[in-house]
Structure 1
């Protein structure tokens, strides 16, 4: 006797939207169970700060190491904005931003090539085709860097398959025990 179950496929992006009770992670980490490190150039609380040094000198928890060479700024207004945002963030606790946004008031869309929750997914398409909320228009790139979200889907599948296996073994043992007792009953009366 075989039993078949329909196991729904859970998209890694779907898990992002379903995880509304996400706990706050330590600096430098994000994702399911806070197991993923911030992706360069992001660092800090909810990976919302940006290193202005080369990747080899950027610590995901604390930012650029002391004495590391800095990259030239894109513009002076960016530096002033970053300083004021840093001051604001130290004065108040930041709430979790909506998917695709960051900043002290969650008013800024993710910077290309980043998108998604905490801007930690990476578009692998052109800037024009990268949406700050859902990523590239091509479905194959929507969940590019959400490796940590494969774990819940894997755990879900493992639990379902384990329950299925236990059920199959239980049915087999039940049938085997009852058929052997029926045979013994018939043998004793012949």
Structure 2
């Protein structure tokens, strides 16, 4: 009964929009080309209703929308002024399918810019983009009331006008915002929205005021079209940013990253146009062909050859990828920023490496630096740092002999 009353009200209480509001002119955007230029973003606070006089070029996202609330500046609406069809609609041309791609986001049903399907008819709305596009984001401006009608509706993407193609999105059971940002990730020419009447109240009507389908502008890529390509004489893949050929001068790699970001050992290093490799090697703490990766897996220093676990830190310490610095200091008997040099004596100021031990693998007592393997010939003392008396006497005798000859 309620549905019959609504149908009666629609057909008898209102005249078609153009007749009901004879002095109200709805501005329409003029299509400039098959592939519109990059469009800016306007983010509006408050209700998701954009009156005709505020209509602007570019996606307008209300603050209460679902999902993403703003696109990057380099996205373009490829659905604008394209051919739209439906299984049925009310009031002839006043609520025809093309109203949903006319560039007017006015969500008032009787403002002359919304699509309204027939009631008691499983509704379908479809737009033909004219060719295949790589798309991801879609924004649907529903009528500002009756949000239950978009609940459980489905969105499909295809390259064949005879089938719906791939299901890419299903609206939630409960819709709380009249502007819905959704993801329909794929390639296709036709986008279809269907209402099978399976929502809680079985309402199968569609009330859509605008559908905007976004593709990244040429030269940009990424989820929100916010990254720029630097390919030479070509555009990059709009999802990954991969370049099909060479990079512009000063850029390198599959995604043409800047050579300036590398950590080469010398600033005048060459930059390979394919992988950005540094012919002078990397600075300490960096690795990778293009020297942009920090040492990892517990390594640090020159060529990432030093092991963090071999340091002698006092307690637990992070391991800086360049210096391996021990933040709490060194254990007794060790010195250096990374606590890898043995030492002994007062304040551990004497390096073990300067002793003259018989063997290089001799232990180093942290108090007196004694060599457990003994000293090299000609050296004595606990730490083998003193020349023997015999060597000293021989040196003295040589000096005397020289003086006598003179």
Q: Structure 1-normalised TM-score? A: 0.31
CA radius of gyration, larger in: 2
Larger proportion of helix: 1
Q: Which has the higher contact order (CA 8 A, sep 6+)?
A: 1
Larger proportion of strand: 2
Q: Structure 2-normalised TM-score? A: 0.18
